[in-house]
């Protein structure tokens, strides 16, 4: 008889309490993963946009210091090299077109909140919110 009483007086968690705690932890993990994935996507897009702005700045500086012409290298070929500064492995949808009078470079964004609806090499889609971020000559 005494052994049954001591068993009933033990403190502990019931199966229901444990299941509730495990469920709450699982929900918090899922919410955390979704937030982390969204933050990762935003960071990637910010890096893409930053790369494009740096590229645009370089082209405009070249234009200003070289008799008002853009680089004469045909079709942006310096961007293909390892030293271009553009990580094309992470920048899907990389489209470019460069001449001595103009340039257009577009990158596909992950969230569809770019400044262009298409990656046309003439930047014709700029001005319409879409899945691409594009830059073009300012002059």
Report domain extents, the chain: 15-136
User: Quick one: what percent of the chain has pLDDT higher than 90?
Assistant: 18
Least confident of 11-15, 53-57, 86-90, 119-123: 86-90
CB 111 within 8 A of CB 100: no
Per-state percent for the chain, helix, strand, coil, to nearest 5: 50, 15, 35
User: What pTM, to 2 d.p., does this model score?
Assistant: 0.68
CB 130 within 8 A of CB 111: no
DSSP 90: T
pLDDT for residue 124 is more than 60: yes
Mean pLDDT of 72-77: 62
pLDDT for residue 1 is more than 60: no
pLDDT for residue 109 is more than 60: yes
Within a 13 Å sphere around the CA of 134, how many CA atoms are in the beta-carbon half? 29
Strand-pair partners of 110: none
CB 96 within 8 A of CB 104: yes
CB 105 within 8 A of CB 90: no
Q: Which run of H or of E encompasses 53? A: helix 15-65
pLDDT score recorded for residue 68: 84
CB 108 within 8 A of CB 93: yes
* Mean pLDDT of the residues in the chain: 80
């Amino acid at each position: 008889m005494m052994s049954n009483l001591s068993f009933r007086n033990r403190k502990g968690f019931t199966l229901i309490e444990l299941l509730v705690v495990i469920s709450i932890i699982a929900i918090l993990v899922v919410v955390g993963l979704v937030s982390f994935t969204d933050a990762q996507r935003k960071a990637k897009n910010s890096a893409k946009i930053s790369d494009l702005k740096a590229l645009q700045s370089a082209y405009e500086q070249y234009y200003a210091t070289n008799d008002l012409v853009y680089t004469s290298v045909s079709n942006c070929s310096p961007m293909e090299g390892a030293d271009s500064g553009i990580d094309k492995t992470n920048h899907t949808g990389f489209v470019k077109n460069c001449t001595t009078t103009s340039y257009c470079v577009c990158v596909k964004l992950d969230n569809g909140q770019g400044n262009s609806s298409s990656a046309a090499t003439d930047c014709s889609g700029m001005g319409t919110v879409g899945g691409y971020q594009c830059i073009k000559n300012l002059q």
